[in-house]
Chains A and B, each alone.
Chain A
Amino acid sequence: MQLRGNAMSLQLKNIKKNFKGITVIDGVTLSVESGETLVLFGPSGAGKTVLLRLIAGVIEPDMGEIWINGQIMAGVEPEERGIGMAFQNFALFPHMDAAQNIAAPLTARRQSRTDVASTVEKIAKLLKIEHVLHHKPKELSNGQKQRTSLARALSAEPSVLLLDDPLRNVDAKLRFEMRLELPRLLKDQNATVIYVTQDYKEAMAMGRRIAVMGNHGIQQVGTPADIYLRPANLEIARLFGDPVINLVNVRPESSPSGITVHISGMPITLNGFEVAIGRDCILGLRPESLQFVPENTTDAFAVDIETESPLNEKIVTLAITLSGEEIMVSRPANISGAASGRAWLSIMPSNALLFDKVTGNLLKPNLMDVSA
Chain B
Amino acid sequence: MNTMSTVERILRGGAILSVCIFFMFPIVWIFGMSFQTNETILRVPPSFLSEPTLVNYKGLISGQLETSAGGLKVDFMGNLFNSLFLSTTSVIVALILGVPAAYAFARLKFRGSEDIAFTLLSFRFAPPLLVLLPLTIYFQQIGLANTYVGLIWVYQLICLPLILWIVRGYFEDISADVEYAYRIAGHNFWATFRSIALPLAGPGIAAAGLLAFIFAWNNFVFALVLASADKQPVTVGALAFITASGIQYGQVAAGIVLSITPTFVLALYAQRYLVEGLSLGAVKG
Q: Interface on A for B, CB 8 Å cutoff?
A: 53, 56-58, 77-79, 81-85, 87, 89-95, 104-105, 108-109, 137-138, 142, 145, 152, 156, 169
A169 nearest CB neighbor, chain B only: B284
Across the interface, do B282 and A152 meet the contact criterion of CB distance under 8 Å?
Answer: no
> How many Cβ-Cβ contacts under 8 Å join chain A to chain B?
81
- Which residues of chain B have C-beta atoms less than 8 A from A83's C-beta? 184
Interface of B, secondary structure class, is helix
Chain B residues in 8 Å Cβ range of A93: 178, 181-182, 196
Report how far A167 CA is from B269 CA in the complex, Å.
42
Given contacts A85-B181, A94-B200, A104-B181, 5 further A-B contacts (CB under 8 A): A58-B184, A82-B186, A89-B283, A90-B284, A93-B181
Contact of A87 among B181, B188, B281 (CB under 8 A): B181
Which residues in B have their C-beta under 8 angstroms from that of A145? Answer: 284
21 contacts between A and B (CB under 8 A): A58-B184, A77-B183, A77-B188, A79-B183, A82-B186, A83-B184, A85-B181, A87-B177, A87-B181, A89-B175, A90-B284, A91-B178, A91-B180, A93-B178, A93-B196, A94-B200, A94-B282, A95-B280, A105-B186, A108-B187, A145-B284
A93-B178, A138-B282 are known contacts. Are A78 and B196 too (CB-CB below 8 A)?
Answer: no
Whether B283 lies near A56 (C-beta < 8 A) is no
Selected contact of B175 from candidates A56, A78, A91, CB within 8 Å? A91
Contact with A along B192-212 (1 / 0, CB 8 A): 000010011000000000000
Bound form: Cα–Cα A142–B285 in Å: 11
Which residue of chain B has its CB nearest to the CB of A80?
B186
Q: Is B185 part of the binding interface, using a Cβ–Cβ cutoff of 8 Å?
A: yes
Partner of A105, one of B178, B185, B280, B283: B185
Q: Which of B178, B183, B282, B285 contacts A78 (CB 8 A)?
A: B183
- Considering the complex, give the chain B residue whose CB is closest to the CB of A85: B184
CB nearest to A58 among chain B residues? B180
A92 touches B180 (CB 8 A): no
| Known contacts A89-B284, A95-B200, A95-B280; A84/B181 CB under 8 A | no
CA distance A333 to B38 in the complex (A): 99
Cβ–Cβ contact B188 & A56, under 8 A: no
Which residues of chain B are within 8 angstroms of A53 by Cβ–Cβ distance? 180
Taking the closest CB of chain A, its distance from the CB of B186, in whole angstroms, is 3
**Nearest-Cβ distance from residue B235 to partner chain A, whole angstroms:** 38
Q: Mark B42-68, 1 if CB is under 8 A from A, else 0.
A: 000000000000000000000000000
Query: Once the chains are docked, how many angstroms separate the CA of A82 from the CA of B284?
Result: 26
| Residue of A91, A108, A109, A142 with most partner-chain B CB within 10 A | A91
A108 to B181, CA, bound (A): 12
Q: Which residue of A lies closest to B192 (CB)?
A: A79
**Which residues on B sit within 8 Å (CB–CB) of A108?**
185-187, 191
In the complex, chain B residues whose CB is within 8 Å of the CB of A156: 185-186
Docked CA distance A94–B195 (Å) = 11
User: How many angstroms from the CA of A109 to the CA of B199 in the assembled complex?
Assistant: 22
B187: A residues at CB distance < 8 A: 79, 104, 108
Tell me if B178 and A92 are in contact (CB < 8 A). Answer: yes
